[in-house]
Amino acid sequence: MKRIVIKIGSKLLTTESNKLDLNNLRTIVDGVSYLYHKKNIECILVSSGAITCGSEVLNISPKTIPQKQAAASIGQLLLLKEYGQFFGVNGINIGQILLTKDILDHGEKYKNAKNTINTLLKNTVIPIINENDSVAIDEIKFGDNDLLSSYVATLMEANLLVILTDQDGVYDKNPHQHSNARLLTLLHDIPSDMIDRASDALDSKGKGGIKSKLMAAKYCLEHNIPTIVANGKDSSILKKIINDKKGGTWITTK
């Protein structure tokens, strides 16, 4: 395995009070650094959390587009500062890439985005990607970073997409509502009715629930890229995935 895209959800990066969860962020960075140094894997991060972090600074619960965009502009700086410090301790440089959906609709912008990310990787820099929330409007928005991560995985011809969340993976029913919900460890297909049945309820910090994760995985399946949905609060989850081929829900055609 040479190249993976890792999507990190907002709830993994922030506390209940919307402050940065530095302990969990450090743990995730250490896991990515292990893949980079010990396994020689090119890692591309798609990181949520900017709006949530910025909201805490502004002391608001953003509802309007200008409020969300203002919060994102502040939160993105806070996130990148901490990412830079934690990766720096591990001897890794980072680069920021902010995308809008029109960039990935092929054409010259598509080529430029791909070339920029490839140049960072060739120079041993880990790209950290987010939607450009500060300027994006409905016509050029991905909607949430689950879908963004699937587009990035296909853009960069990744070998794997890992979606890290605060759940152990995909369940056969909502585990918050059904005590007998069963973790699905392996899926070879994501039929439309499965997506239709999935909860699309959003939490207070994220834009996408399990439905958007299934949609992202389905998009990757159509491009022959496997997806793993796993619990990012497990400090060894990335090692388990790469070394033991275990952890979370594996969604693959094979």
Q: What are the residue ranges spanned by the domains of the chain? A: 3-251
- pLDDT tier for residue 65 given thresholds of 50, 70 and 90: confident
Q: Looking at the whole model, is its pTM more than 0.75?
A: yes
Q: Which two tokens stand for residue 27?
A: 């743990």
No. of H helices and E strands in the chain? Answer: 9, 10
User: Does the domain formed by 3-251 have CATH 3.40.1160.10?
Assistant: yes
pLDDT at 204: 45
Residues 148 and 97 sit within 8 Å (Cβ to Cβ): no
Q: Among residues 232, 164, 157, 216, which one has the least CA distance to residue 3?
A: 157
Q: Among residues 209, 177, 214, which one has the least CA distance to residue 192?
A: 214
Chain-centroid distance, C-alpha 203: 16
Count of other CB atoms within 10 angstroms of residue 211: 19
Give the range with max mean pLDDT: 104-108, 138-142, 158-162, 177-181: 158-162
CB burial string 216-228: b at 16+ within 10 A, e below? bbbbbbeeebbbb
pLDDT at 252: 94
pLDDT at 139: 41
